[in-house]
Amino acid sequence: MIAAALLAWIAWCAPAAQEGRRGTDLAPDAQQDPERLAALRLDPRSLPRAPLGRWKAFDPAAKPDEKLRPLWSAVAGALRQRDLPAALIALHRLLGAEPDYPPALHELGVVYFRLQRYGDATAPFERYVEHLPERIADTRALGHAYYSLGRYAEARAHYERVLAKQPDMVEAVRGLALALLRLGDESGALAALERVLVLDPAHDEAWTWKAQILYDREELEPALTAARKARDLAPDEPRPWFLIGRIQSDLGHADESRAAQRRYEELHGASEAVRALESALALHPHDAAMLERLVDACRATGSLAKTRGALQRLVAERPREYGPRRKALDVLDALGDRAGALEAATVLEELFPDRAEVWERLVEFYGRRGDRPNQLRAGERLLRLRGR
């Protein structure tokens, strides 16, 4: 039960309302926003400490004390809005009022990790483990942070401690595999990846890293099999295509290599754009123009799941505006999501019954679906709106 008190509090109040990065490595618009800049300059290491033993009897299922509820409400609201800088401010205030409160420490680590401020993320996670060592399994993200900082030996040690408590935690086993690989233990890494694939046979990243290790060992045919498995599981991820291209080239299959390399280059560019936009949106979650660009970047990867997620964010930001609703229909229709496109068309009808351009688009939409009754209905509505 990771940060159970925070999760419970978010549900309870819903009806109501890289190390050394200190706010200087920001987008220009973030640097011009004093409040957000101040949030990113907060130092979790400067938070007051509670004496060891203060939280020994902590119950993760308990609601926060009455005095903390307004502060928790601010945290929950910021997280619901995906506003990570605001969440930082609220969490620092809460931890100033109640030092080392475990759910807040854990969530502060998560927020810093999501902002890719891995050095800052380690501080609250480490305090969490100091106070609640028996709940170390809650903190696999601390291992991820160590790994991201290049502290591979610490990452390995932390993953091993986590797995001693929870041996079947897939992402901790995967993290251990990568830490071992960075430390030069290829055999140990491969064994850990095989363990991941026992626990989760559809883990595309494990197949990708298995392919990489086998390729490095010049075991080309097994590497190709693993890379193809990764590609089939995650066709919108660039790395499997890159490996397939390299392996096919080494096998002398020039045409297959070129085709895979082309696909890799397409996906790599789109994936980099998605990552850049998601990082920017972590600071500015309500920027509708940026959300539109995220939809386009996700669409370029060919991932329906990613595109739908981006569309949901855009529509949630501007629920009654025509542009986002029309974009949802056009994008889902183009990606072949029949159910999603039909839902988007229905919402367009309901929200904008008097816009001729809506019905003109729906005539074409229903026609291509072979839905003759709805095509005729849309056509009749269009003629009435045009006064014919």
Whether 14 has a pLDDT exceeding 70, the answer reads no
Whether 32 has a pLDDT exceeding 90, the answer reads no
pLDDT at 38: 85
Quote the pTM value: 0.84
Find tokens 């096919």 and name the residue.
248
Select the more confidently predicted residue: 34 or 297. Answer: 297
Kindly give, in sequence order, each residue whose CB lies less than 8 Å from that of residue 8, ignoring residues fewer than 6 positions away.
61, 63
Per the CB < 8 A criterion, the answer to whether 162 and 172 are in contact is: yes
Select the more confidently predicted residue: 13 or 243. Answer: 243
pLDDT tens-digit readout, 64-85: 889 999 999 999 999 999 999 9
Whether 60 has a pLDDT exceeding 60, the answer reads yes
What are 173's two structure tokens? Answer: 């086993």
What is the torsional sign of CA 56, 62, 67, 72?
A: positive
For range 145-167, the mean pLDDT: 98
Give whole-number Cα distances, 222 to 155, 226, 255, 276, in Å: 29, 6, 20, 34
Class of domain 1-19+30-149: mainly alpha
pLDDT at 291: 97
What single string gives the DSSP state of each residue in 200-249?
-TT-HHHHHHHHHHHHHTT-HHHHHHHHHHHHHH-TT-HHHHHHHHHHHH
For range 177-188, the mean pLDDT: 98
With bands split at pLDDT 50, 70 and 90, how would you rate the model's confidence at 388?
low
Per the CB < 8 A criterion, the answer to whether 238 and 268 are in contact is: yes
Whether 30 has a pLDDT exceeding 60, the answer reads no
Which of the residue ranges 29-33, 105-109, 115-119, 261-265 would you say has the lowest mean pLDDT?
Answer: 29-33
For range 145-169, the mean pLDDT: 98
Instruction: State what percent of residues in the chain have pLDDT above 70.
Output: 91
pLDDT at 31: 43
With bands split at pLDDT 50, 70 and 90, how would you rate the model's confidence at 18?
very low
b/e map 197-231, b = 16+ CB within 10 Å: bebbeebbbbbbbbbbbbbeeeeeeebbbbbbbbb
pLDDT at 324: 96
Closest alpha carbon to 86 in 97, 106, 96, 71: 71
What single string gives the DSSP state of each residue in 179-193?
HHHHTT-HHHHHHHH
Instruction: State what percent of residues in the chain have pLDDT above 90.
Output: 86
Kindly give, in sequence order, each residue whose CB lies less than 8 Å from that of residue 292, ignoring residues fewer than 6 positions away.
314, 324, 327
pLDDT at 29: 44
For range 272-293, the mean pLDDT: 94
pLDDT at 379: 95
Per the CB < 8 A criterion, the answer to whether 327 and 292 are in contact is: yes
Question: 133: which DSSP letter?
Answer: G
Whether 112 has a pLDDT exceeding 60, the answer reads yes
With bands split at pLDDT 50, 70 and 90, how would you rate the model's confidence at 34?
confident
Closest alpha carbon to 40 in 86, 97, 106: 86
For range 368-379, the mean pLDDT: 95
What are 29's two structure tokens? Answer: 């618009």
Select the more confidently predicted residue: 348 or 23. Answer: 348
For range 54-60, the mean pLDDT: 92
For range 353-368, the mean pLDDT: 96
pLDDT tens-digit readout, 199-227: 999 999 999 999 999 999 999 999 999 99
Report the C-alpha gap between 284 and 85 in whole angstroms: 9
Per the CB < 8 A criterion, the answer to whether 245 and 260 are in contact is: yes
pLDDT at 33: 67
Q: How high does pLDDT run on average in the chain?
A: 91
Whether 353 has a pLDDT exceeding 50, the answer reads yes
Give whole-number Cα distances, 38 to 42, 57, 70, 251, in Å: 7, 34, 21, 54
